[in-house]
Amino acid sequence: MPASLREPTAPHRAAPRTSPLPSPGEATALLDAYRPGTDRFLASSRQTLLASGTAAEVPLDERPLAVRVREVLDARRRVGDAAPIVVGALPFSPDAPPSLAVPLSVRRAPALCEDPLIALPGPSAEPGTWQTREVPAPADYAASVAAAVRRMRAGEFDKVVLARTLELTSSHDLDLPAMLRRLARHDPKGYTFAVPSGPGRTLVGASPELLVARAGNTLTANPLAGSAPRSDDLAEDVRRAATLLESRKDLHEHAVVVAAVREALAPFCVRLDVPERPTLVRTAAMWHLSTTVTGTLADPGASSLDLASALHPTPAVCGTPTDTARAVIAESEPFDRGAYTGMVGWQDARGDGEWVVTIRCAEAEGRSLRLFAGAGVVAASSPEAETAETGAKFRTFLSAVGAAL
């Protein structure tokens, strides 16, 4: 397969392997052991992590997030925790409380994609009745996109990411462990997660996008921007991939994001490598333009959360200029994003860690699920195409719960 049509990869190594020769079933055992409420599950293309219990929580106050996390980790080391980490989710809004905690115990395994048992069929979605409600309705969403396009063509701003939600209510109790297993098997090379996001709420999803990872003095970021739905027909699927690689609209959208990532990370680095052209990555539902950025840190004290905080929110999930895009989002979206387009991940006391952009996700509460999907809107955008793109992005999660749009 050409390099431009590769699977998502993560060139960094976020954590040491647990053994030189991993045994079949190590990673899937952690996936099967996940229990909502008490556990936090994270799987990347480099490792699988299951954190249980809560030893300490990261508070919300006026100090920078990275400082608060460092203080909590240092406090845990002083009471005898030899290798504490924080795990959890951060919201889109910087003023909202984090859902980050130091677990009582952590189990690690190699990547799910390296476990041959992940290829075995997962649990089928249980039959049930789903009530669905789109917020906003597709026509209203398209109207918001059209209004944003008019403002961009008038020169007010360059890009905004507008989202919509799909609210699902089930006739039976949600089986979150089974839902997580289906998501993981659907795309074992992606970033699968299930973490508490508030009292009685769980954030569950499978993101294709690494925000940033730090391993020693090396950082990696993998911004995605510019997308096209996959096709079940092989010839049509390849045509869509090739078209995306040459799309002026999508290449411009991607370039805006990569430039912002370069600008945010450059002050931390003595070296920063940014490829001139994007490649493609694929998920089960979408093609994405992708650029893998790597760098060498100038200050070894810069933690993964220092880097993530400098990046968040990128134009891939917000827009540019950031403040204007945030205002347009607040005016256009009739819901609170919560953890959607925030970040989910982990960091240890050395500052190493990995943080993923919280997309292709849903928030579960009781018998309800709220799914989120967004599209990057630029001056060349079509309201119909962006509405269709959000519908395609919903498919990742709908297939995991046995529902249809």
- Per-residue model confidence as pLDDT tens digits over 150-167: 999 999 999 999 999 999
Token duo for residue 66: 């990275």
Closest CA to 265 of 329, 324, 311, 232: 311
Q: What is the pLDDT of residue 400?
A: 79
Q: Where are the alpha helices (DSSP H) in 205-321?
A: 234-246, 248-265, 304-311
Proportion of the chain above pLDDT 70, given as a percent = 93
The amino acid at 372: F
pLDDT beyond 60 at 6 = no
Checking DSSP bridges between strand 343-348 and strand 85-90, what pairing results, if any?
Answer: antiparallel
- 159 as an active site residue: the answer is yes
The amino acid at 37: G
pLDDT tens sequence across 84-109: 999 999 999 988 899 999 999 999 99
pLDDT beyond 70 at 291 = yes
Query: Average pLDDT, stretch 185-212?
Result: 93
CA distances from 340 to 115, 223, 364 (A): 29, 16, 12
Q: What is the pLDDT of residue 8?
A: 43
Which residues have a Cβ under 8 Å from the Cβ of 15 and sit 6 or more positions away? 46, 47, 49, 108, 352
- 189: confidence class by pLDDT, cuts 50, 70, 90: confident
- 363 as an active site residue: the answer is no
Q: What is the pLDDT of residue 223?
A: 95
Active site residue: 26, 134, 209, 386, which one?
209
Active site residue: 26, 114, 159, 363, which one?
159
- 19: confidence class by pLDDT, cuts 50, 70, 90: very low
pLDDT tens sequence across 371-380: 999 999 999 9
Gap between the Cα atoms of 95 and 62, Å rounded? 9
In eight-state DSSP terms, residue 267 is G
pTM: 0.89
Query: Average pLDDT, stretch 285-294?
Result: 95
Q: What is the pLDDT of residue 45?
A: 83
Angle formed by the axes of helices 304-311 and 65-78, nearest 10°: 160
* 353 contacts 347 by C-beta, under 8 angstroms: yes
- The region of weakest confidence among 121-125, 281-285, 399-403 is 121-125
